[in-house]
Amino acid sequence: MIVTHTLSAVFQAGPHQRGWADVLESVNEFYRRVLFLPEQASTVAAQIDHLHYLEITVMFAAAGAIALAVIIFLARYHHAGNHTHIDLLDEGDTRDPTLATPHVNAPLVLEFGLYAGLFGLFVLFWVLGYRQYVELLVPPTKAIDIFVTGKQWVWQFAYPQGPATAGILYVPAGQPVRIVLTSRDVIHSFFVPQFRVKRDAVPGMYTETWFEASRPGTYNVLCAELCGVGHSVMRAGVIVLDPQDFQRWLEGRSQFGADVPDTTGASLAQRGRIMAIQKGCARCHSVDGSRATGPTWRNLYGSWEVLEGGQRVFVDEAYITRSMMEPGRDIVAGFPNVMPSFMGLVAPGEVSALVAYMRSLSDAPVDRATDSLPGERGPNPASVRALPPASPAPADTTPVRLPR
């Protein structure tokens, strides 16, 4: 805060106030672009970046001074060739040492003056930084609470008003939001680069942080603390809505119980697709056949899957449901056993939506599944007949990408 005030106070002395604010803004934009900083999407981001620019400028000034000094000394005192001989004067020898270099010792006042000055500068940086740190840490009283739980490789968000989402965090713009963090297994770290916010989610204790998004937009939540194999795919989306939209989403959410903003009229498969994003399946399973952490869903339904032990199993609704609830039982060959269990996280309605979506991704006609080889687990005849004929919804194969 102080940094912006001092900068703007200094600039705004002149009559044409409007001009200086633009200059300040363009300087801010220039620095931000040069340093590859993400956009300043939260209220505190601008102040932190201003302190960042102050320190970077001082840093380059100091580096420039050192470079200049070295170049000048090198140019003036360079001595071509190698030193040819050394011959130390004995203890008593009083001959004047020809060609020797002068004995220059740092004057104490220069030395201590510099170190006191440097120490003062460093402490100033710390005072500015620590004030911002405390401001970044202590949420304002009227912030709305959101409970964030890190679980091995998925972020789960729960709102006191009841709705729970996995992988997508909805927040209102212009309102402070308090994030209460904890973790179910190992240490994760809730990090939103655009908000300049980061706090570890430590199992067994609650930690908190807060931010106030300044305008609607979509940003990334990344995990910043190594938490195992899925550390780099443990990402979530932050969707900043206008306060009214957020309120409508909040009510809409709690009534239908399913996190589908405009689900009226959408086919079961489309609802399954949105479910795949919400529940985080999209993070490990691709839908365009490309290899990811988990097996791709393209042409998976109705095909024969080779398991770890070489056994082959037919992919039908029973297999998919079992794999969701106990992923560790049937490991597909060549894939790590890293899928979290969704027991208790996925309602039965959502499971059937997901299966419908997977069916829509598969070209294999259902009857091909009947010619099961001896000794393999053939399709469960009940499941083949029980399924209603799949509605010929167009296979939605656009690659599932997280909102940028």
Partner 1 sequence: MTGRSITVRTYAWVLLALLLLTAATLLLSFVPLGMFHMPVALLIAAAKTVLILLYFMHVIEQRYTIRVVLLVAVLLLGSLIVLTVADTATRDVPFHPPAPE
Partner 2 sequence: MTTTASPRPPAPAHVETKNYLNAETTFRSWATTTDHKRIGVLFLAGVTLSAMLGGTFALLLRLELLTPEADVMTAMTYNRLFTLHGVVMVWLFMIPAIPGAFGNFMVPLMIGARDVAFPRLNLASFYFYLSGALLVIAGAIAGGADTGWTFYPPYSAQTPTALVPVLAGVFVLGISSTMTGLNFIVTIHTLRTAGMTWWRLPLFVWAIYATSIILVLATPVLGLSLLLVAIDHAFALGVFNPAHGGDPILYQHLFWFYSHPAVYIMILPAMGVISEVVPAFSRKNVFSYRGIVIASVGIALVGFLTWGHHMFTSGMSAFDSGAFGVLSMFVAIFSAIKVFTWVGTLYRGRITLSTPLLYFFGFLFLFAFGGMTGVALASTSLDVHWHDTYFIVAHFHFIMVGGTMMGFMAGLHFWFPKMFGRLYSQRLSAVVALLAISGFILTFTPQFLLGNAGMPRRYHTYPAEYQPLNIISTIGSWAIGAGLLIGLLYLLVALWRGKPAGSNPWNLLGLEWSISSPPPPHNFEEPPKVWQEPYDYWRARND
Residues that bind partner 1 (CB under 8 A): 145, 147, 158-160, 162, 164, 180, 205-208
Q: Where do the DSSP E strands lie in 143-288? A: 144-151, 154-158, 164-166, 168-172, 176-183, 188-192, 197-201, 207-212, 217-223, 236-241
Q: Which contiguous run of DSSP H or E holds residue 318?
A: helix 317-325
Q: What is the DSSP code string of 366-391?
A: GGGGG-PPTTSB---HHHHHHSPPPP
For position 187 contacting partner 2 by CB under 8 A, the verdict is yes
35 binds, among partner 2, partner 1, none (CB under 5 to 8 A by kind): partner 2
Coil, helix or strand at residue 217: strand
Site residues for partner 2, window 352-391 (CB under 8 A)?
Answer: none
85 binds, among partner 1, partner 2, none (CB under 5 to 8 A by kind): partner 2
Q: Where do the DSSP E strands lie in 202-361? A: 207-212, 217-223, 236-241, 304-306, 312-314
Q: Minimal distance in Å, beta carbon 380 to partner 2?
A: 33
Entry field: residues in the chain = 404
180 binds, among partner 1, partner 2, none (CB under 5 to 8 A by kind): partner 1
**CB nearer to partner 2: pick between 232 and 254:** 232
330 binds, among partner 2, partner 1, none (CB under 5 to 8 A by kind): none
For position 399 contacting partner 2 by CB under 8 A, the verdict is no
Residue indicated by tokens 């070209």: 363
Q: How far apart are CA 84 and CA 392, in angstroms?
A: 91
Q: What is the DSSP letter of 213?
A: B
Q: How many residues bind partner 2 (CB under 8 A)?
A: 97
Q: How far apart are CA 218 and CA 238, in angstroms?
A: 5
Q: How far apart are CA 55 and CA 67, in angstroms?
A: 18
30 binds, among partner 1, partner 2, none (CB under 5 to 8 A by kind): none
**CB nearer to partner 2: pick between 96 and 367:** 96
Q: Minimal distance in Å, beta carbon 296 to partner 2?
A: 13
**CB nearer to partner 1: pick between 151 and 273:** 151
123 binds, among partner 2, partner 1, none (CB under 5 to 8 A by kind): partner 2
**Cα 31–Cα 119–Cα 123 angle in degrees, nearest 5:** 60
Q: Minimal distance in Å, beta carbon 216 to partner 2?
A: 20
Residue 387 makes CB contacts below 8 A (sequence gap 6+) with 317, 359, 366
Q: Minimal distance in Å, beta carbon 253 to partner 1?
A: 13
Q: Minimal distance in Å, beta carbon 164 to partner 1?
A: 7
**CB nearer to partner 1: pick between 38 and 203:** 203
**CB nearer to partner 2: pick between 211 and 357:** 211
Structure tokens at 251: 């009510």
Residue indicated by tokens 């170190």: 115
Q: Minimal distance in Å, beta carbon 139 to partner 1?
A: 8
Site residues for partner 2, window 281-340 (CB under 8 A)?
Answer: 293, 336
End-to-end CA distance of the chain: 30
Map residues 199-218 to x or -, x wherever contact with partner 2 holds by CB under 8 A.
xx-xxxx-x-----------
For position 222 contacting partner 2 by CB under 8 A, the verdict is yes
User: Within 10 A of 157 (CB to CB), how many other CB atoms are there?
Assistant: 21
Pairing relation of β-strands 176-183 and 144-151? parallel
For position 179 contacting partner 2 by CB under 8 A, the verdict is no
Site residues for partner 2, window 102-121 (CB under 8 A)?
Answer: 102-106, 111, 114-115, 118-119
31 binds, among partner 1, partner 2, none (CB under 5 to 8 A by kind): none
Site residues for partner 2, window 36-55 (CB under 8 A)?
Answer: 36-38, 48, 51-52, 55
Structure tokens at 36: 């590859």
Strand partners, 223: 190
Q: Name the one range near partner 2 by CB under 8 A: 75-83, 161-169, 347-355, 361-369.
A: 75-83
User: Within 10 A of 207 (CB to CB), how many other CB atoms are there?
Assistant: 17
